A and B are shown apart, each in its own frame.
Chain A
Amino acid sequence: MLNAIDYVPGNTLLHRLNPVTKLALAAAIIIATFLADTYPMLLGLLALTFALGAYAKSSSRLVSLLKLLVPLAVVMLLLQTAFVRGGSPVFLWMTSEGLETGTKACLRLMGVALPLILMLTVTKLVDLSNACVEVLHIPYRYAFTFTTALRFVPVFSQQMNAIMEAQCARGVEYDTKNPLRKLQLMLPLCVPLLVSSVGKTDATALAAEERGFYLRTRDSSFKRYPLVARDFAVLVGCVVLVALGVVA
């Protein structure tokens, strides 16, 4: 099963960076996206994300995510144009100012979502949590909770899929064309999903404890995650990105 946040194996520079550096890079792109207020900068940051994605051979994931984001962005654009009424009218109800804030909001939405996903596709979750514990001194239990939550996303989506299939085979119209009707049919299924997820998380907690979870310290990890020259170089790049975001 293909998942947007699944690790894409590889040996590019991006894969070999320290997970914390990758996190910083994603954060820098996101911060710059929030700060930037010109089209060239916003588009440039998006282009950077895609260039990195293409380099790490995970651009197909970004594109599949984009398919989800674009409809959302369109809805956002329409709403923005409806609320922001300044400037001269351009087309129907839309005004020049409305269009400008709207498109920028859309670009920001994509600019914020994509770098994080890119970071996750080039990092194994275990490495991410271990590096956060080692480099950032985050308590392991928080790092573990976070990565486990991410790891459960595909598990739950599979579960949801199995439930939908079972219900569909019973004659519930999930194959309906009407999205509102589909949503209405899906809501009751949250109960079985919730019941099984509570059981699963409880079992996970037990299994982790039985494998010495509470004994783990910052020095436990077998693999080490030192920051090396290339990490510092990228970190400097991150600062430049944020600075660019402030001026542009």
Chain B
Amino acid sequence: MPSSADSPIIELRDVSFSYEGPSSQDGDMALSHVSLSVGRGEFVGVIGPSGAGKSTLASVMSGAIPHHYRGALYGATLVDGRDTCEVTLTDISRIVGSVLQDIDTQMVASVVEDEMLFGLENFGVPHDQIEERVSQTLQTVGISDLRDREIATLSGGQKQKVAIAAILALQPRVLLLDEPTAALDPASSTLVFDTLQKVNREAGITVVVIEQKVALLSRYCDRLLVMSRGSLVLDGTPRQVFAHGERLRGIGVDSPRVARVYNSLARHGLVEGGEPCLTVPEAERLVAGLVGDSPRQVTEGNFRAGSRHVAAARPHSEGAEPVVLLQDVCFGYPNGGATVDNLDMCVYPGEVVGIVGQNGAGKTTLTKLLNGLLRPSSGSVRIAGIDTADVPTSRIAAHCSTLFQNPDNQLCKDTVLDEVAFGLELQGVGQDEACRRASSVIDRFGLPANEAPFSLSRGQRQMVALASVVVMEPEVVLLDEPTSGLDYRECMTVMETVSWMAERGCAVIMVCHDMEVVSDFAERIVVMADGRILGRGQTTQTFCDSDLMRRAYVEAPQVIELSQALARDVSPEFAGISQVSGIVDLTEEMVGRA
């Protein structure tokens, strides 16, 4: 029974679900008592910490629950007015098209065109319409030029667009995406969201997207759903939702930095509260409005005053020997493809250095050169005084530990304790000693020592991997996208641990797409593009170099963009502020001065 135009396209009535089956307790529910409705043509974002039930919610909406995953389902889910329990998964997917989290598993073909054809053929689209559908969809998504390309040769962002196009060609009424940008750099993520917005506005397709990147969601969504522990806790426009900054933080969800500026100003009684700004220009207008009346005392004296609000750099040993030294390093993969050229880098003990740049800029190659997985074709890499060309990779591991993006690649033991102690044992530390040191680190992280690592959640698995890095007490730590796939709280725990290691004299080099994290934790950054180092320097100053940022396709963190805009248009005192509190304090002070 098709429903009328104004009824919701998806409706959940008091839905609960447990993967365990009917006998489970209320606490084990992956979803508990969720009621919501998604209207036609809406652009809905779903956020929440890991384990909150976001993916389960997506599975319920797509019909994968109850048709694919087993468990106990209560309540009713209506898709276009029909109960998902009563129609087949295939029929639900005519209405709700889903793009999975791991798009590699979704692909069925090796060439883009064949990938597009698969669904169209299956759903029996008349063959004389197929050509038009394919070309039109590719055009909508903006990838007409990729039609004959091999999928294996595409970048992550292009692949994601192909996955979206393959579903879109089926002309679903709802497009459901599970973390579509998790593996993408900021520029590609924005492009994917631009595509979604276009589809939403032009074709009127309802979009439901699960995402961790709050700033993106706030810019594109009409409506945000916040999940926590299987329940829907907030539901409203991005402004309404981010007005609850404190509550979100308690749940474990970040807010866009400009919203934090607003909420903080509201707490200080400078603005009314309730309508936080979501973009940098909005925040600029707000602050300009607040301090605009105050006399502009732009004198030589307080021109430098902005620096008072810049956090002091972590003191590190002056004049110490660099622990990482790269001299004129070049490397090219044997079968062509990416190369890195003339890399020079020098990192001292106790420093946190961020490496930023687009996907394919050569960041991962650089980390592999550092931990010895690759040897430079010319130039030298020295880690803690050892030239990596002279010793096997497994020996470098004693001095340089790597935390990989995907913890599952490094977990191989039966218990967390064995896993953490494993690295030490490999370096020849006796079993008792290794266990003792591992136990103390495990206690520090509050991990279950006797559980199997694979039975833990994604975030906890990353903690186990981090613990096995910490226990090594290395001179150098390499982090490759340490925060991807983690929620805000897990991300902070990882980064705080890393800072703690840096304070104890460990040199930290991190490759990271999250510019907020880089700006909060790194004191120096190295900007890479096309296998070369384009620029480097103190974090805030380098982020402020808008020309450099544009050349490297890197988007500076919101607070730095805001402080730059304010410094330009309102008062030079704002220059160089990289923290929310800095902006708020200065604004308060300037308002007080008036």
Contacts and interface: CB of A to CB of B under 8 A. Distances in A.
B123 interface: yes
Given A2-B335, A212-B122, A215-B122, 13 more contacts: A162-B406, A163-B409, A166-B402, A168-B394, A169-B404, A170-B422, A170-B426, A172-B394, A173-B426, A174-B394, A200-B102, A215-B90, A215-B124
A113 to B, nearest CB: 22
6 contacts: A144-B108, A175-B392, A209-B67, A211-B108, A213-B90, A222-B121
Interface string A182-225: 00000011011001100011011111111111111000111100
Given A207-B106, A222-B120, A171 B397 contact: yes
A189 B411 CA distance: 9
Given A192-B408, A195-B454, A204-B105, A6 B152 contact: yes
Interface string B377-409: 000000000000000111101100110101011
Q: Rank and list the top 6 A-B pairs by shortest CB-CB distance, nearest first.
A: A212-B122, A171-B397, A211-B119, A203-B105, A166-B409, A166-B410
B130 A222 contact: yes
Contact of B373 (A151, A168, A205): A168
Contacts of B105: 200-201, 203-204, 207
Contacts of A196: 408
Contacts of B401: 169-170
A152 to B, nearest CB: 9
Contacts of A206: 64, 68, 100
B406 A211 contact: no
Interface string B51-94: 00000000000111001100000000000000000000110011
A69 to B, nearest CB: 21
B110 A220 contact: no
A154 B513 CA distance: 27
Contacts of A220: 121-122, 124
A204 B104 CA distance: 9
Interface residues of B, number: 63
Contacts of A155: 104
Given A211-B93, A212-B90, A215-B90, A125 B410 contact: no
A205 B69 CA distance: 12
The secondary structure that dominates the A interface is: helix
Contact of A170 (B110, B167, B397, B408): B397
A226 B120 CA distance: 21
Given A168-B393, A211-B118, A222 B127 contact: yes
Interface string A138-155: 000000100010010011
A125 B373 CA distance: 33
B427 interface: yes
A211 B397 contact: no
B371 interface: yes
A208 to B, nearest CB: 7
Nearest to B134: A222
A226 B167 CA distance: 29
Contacts of A189: 412
A151 B105 CA distance: 10
B500 to A, nearest CB: 21
A31 B105 CA distance: 35
A104 interface: no
A189 B122 CA distance: 38
B109 interface: yes
Candidate in B63, B98, B119, B368 with the most chain A CB atoms within 10 angstroms: B119
A146 B36 CA distance: 42
A9 to B, nearest CB: 8
Contacts of B406: 162
B114 interface: yes
A209 to B, nearest CB: 6
A173 B89 contact: no
B412 A167 contact: yes
A34 interface: no
Contacts of A173: 392, 394, 426
Contacts of A85: none
A167 B409 CA distance: 8
A172 to B, nearest CB: 6
B89 A166 contact: no
A199 to B, nearest CB: 8
Contact of B123 (A165, A191, A203, A212): A212
B160 interface: no
Interface string B537-570: 0000000000000000000000000000000000
B423 interface: yes
Interface string B136-170: 00000000000000101000000000000011001
A220 B119 CA distance: 10
Contacts of A200: 102, 104-105
B468 interface: yes
B431 to A, nearest CB: 16
B394 A175 contact: yes
A184 B120 CA distance: 47
B114 A124 contact: yes
A71 B152 CA distance: 30
A7 B427 contact: no
B117 interface: yes
Given A166-B404, A168-B394, A192-B411, A210 B110 contact: no
A174 B410 CA distance: 13
A32 B262 CA distance: 79
B590 interface: no
Contacts of A208: 108
B111 interface: yes
A11 to B, nearest CB: 12
Nearest to A224: B127
A126 interface: yes
Interface in A8-41: 9
B393 A169 contact: yes
A126 B454 contact: no
A191 B335 CA distance: 30
Contacts of A154: 152
A148 B121 contact: no
Given A168-B394, A206-B68, A214 B90 contact: yes
Given A165-B373, A175-B393, A210 B108 contact: no
Given A126-B108, A222-B117, A209 B90 contact: yes
Contacts of B150: 7, 9
A191 B84 CA distance: 36
A115 B464 CA distance: 47
Nearest to B478: A169
B28 to A, nearest CB: 21
Candidate in B68, B410, B422 with the most chain A CB atoms within 10 angstroms: B410
Candidate in A9, A206, A220 with the most chain B CB atoms within 10 angstroms: A206
Interface string A94-113: 00000000000000000000
A220 B398 CA distance: 57
Given A189-B412, A206-B68, A210-B64, A171 B398 contact: yes
Nearest to B333: A1
Nearest to B117: A222
Nearest to B336: A2
Contact of B106 (A124, A195, A203): A203
A206 B102 CA distance: 12
Contacts of B394: 168, 171-176
